Every structure is written in C-alpha cells, then in structure tokens.
Chain A
C-alpha cells in the first residue's frame, strides 16, 4: 500500500468526506437567497396539508354524506350554514389554506417543467394573479353573504331566505 494515487489519475481519492468542513461553498445548503423561503414553503405544505385533511373531510361529510347529500345543496342550504359564524370561519380558513397550498404546489410544478425563464415568469404571474382573485372573491362572498336578497324595487328575490 505504498503507492500514492495522484488526484488526476484517481479523482475519487481527492473527494472530501461528507461534512468534513471542506466542502465547496456552492454545495452548501445554507446561505442561498431562496433557502429560508423554500424551507418555509416546505413546512407550510405539511402543516396546511394536515389541517386541510380535517377541514375538507368534514366539509365533504356535512355537505355530501349527511342529511340529504348532494340533493340538499341549494341557496337555502348555504344560508343555513353561513348563519353560523363557525361555518363562515371554517370555509374562510379552508379557502385560504387550500388556495395557498394549491398555488404553492402549482409553483413547484411550473419550476419543474417550464424551462425558459420567461415562461416560468409568465406562468407564475398568471398563477399569483388567479389565486389572489379567487381568494379575495371567496373572502368577500363569505363576509358579504345576504340570505334575504332583494331586487331593485325592494321585493324579495325568488328562493331568498328572509325572516318571516
């Protein structure tokens, strides 16, 4: 074992052991500009995922599996649920978490498959705008919902839910 291998002939012998502290900085995981954001996004996907399993399973159970199921869903059903602030809050949290979770997943997919910088930028711009519009619209709908809708003349609209 007295022969010495030159690094040029046997490059593998010149590799540093893992975590020996002499790693080329470009392979280090920390100190990259997007590191903390990607880490936060990774944690968010797991935490929001657990919350969404509960939020959506209960949503499906209450709307589709209990009572009359799909046949019961109409304006009056929505009015009945949103008369209760718990369901307003439930749907609000579900909307925000689902849109952020879904938009971040779409961002990951865009980053994976869109190779051109300009394509990625366009797709992500559309994604952010679309997600923002849906979240703002949904939030407004939950908080401005009016069960007793009236027409311009002040008459009750058909199927509106008004106190008798």
Chain B
C-alpha cells in the first residue's frame, strides 16, 4: 500500500491555509458586528461610549486584541497570497512557499504589534 502524502490540496499547506482563512474570516466578521455596535454608543452619550470602550482596556482584553489583530493580519496576508495564486502565472507553483512567506511576515508583524500594544497598555496606567 502506498503511503499517500496528500493530494494537491487535501491535508497539506493548501488545505490548512484554507481552513485558517475561513476560521479567521468568521471571527473577524463577528467582531465587526460587535465593533459597529460599540462605536454606535457615541450617539447614546459620551459616558456610555467611554464605559464600554473601557472594557477593551483590561489585561484579558489586551490579549484578546492581540488575537484579533493576529487573525486580521493572517487573513490579510493570506488573502494577498490567494490573489497571487489566482492571478500570478507562477502562483500555483509557489503557493506553498508563499504560505511560509505569509507566516514569516505574520510572525514579524505580530511580535512588533504585541510588544507595542502591551507597552502602550502599561504606559496607560492600568
């Protein structure tokens, strides 16, 4: 029996990037619904807005924001990779290498974002 190592997509980089793109997309969509609602409180009163936006400024939510931005940055970079797979002549040949590029860029971006976000949170005096 031949030991299969996946087909073009199934079980390999192509499938897992597709799964991750879906999961991050759904997560971002539901955050967007919440984010429009919390911003809408500026039409209720300044105090209502400040109270609810204050909930984004505690340590647990700071971690949540890093997770949210991590999802957004992956979805953004992987989305650009999908566009290259679709439109660049050699896109399908290099789709795996491009995924490693996406993950490398994601890591660099997230290290920088997380460091600055935590630093600004600590400076904020909470």
Residues of A near any B CB (own CB < 8 A): 46, 49-50, 52-53, 56-57, 60, 64-65, 68-71, 73-76, 78, 95, 98-99, 102-103, 105-106, 109, 130, 134, 137-138, 140-141, 144-146, 149, 157-161
Contacts and interface: CB of A to CB of B under 8 A. Distances in A.
Contact of B62 (A70, A76, A103): A70
Given A53-B76, A99-B32, A141 B40 contact: yes
B103 interface: no
B15 interface: no
Q: Is the interface of B mostly helix, strand, loop or mixed?
A: helix
Interface in B1-58: 22, 25-26, 28-29, 32-33, 36-37, 39-40, 42-43, 45-47, 49-50, 53, 56-57
Given A50-B83, A56-B76, A71 B69 contact: no
Contact of A65 (B29, B76, B80, B113): B113
A75 B50 contact: yes
Given A71-B126, A109-B22, A145 B50 contact: no
Contact of A70 (B33, B42, B46, B121): B121
A103 B76 CA distance: 16
Interface residues of B, number: 41
Contacts of A102: 25, 28-29, 32
A98 to B, nearest CB: 6
Contacts of A157: 45-47
A56 B45 contact: no
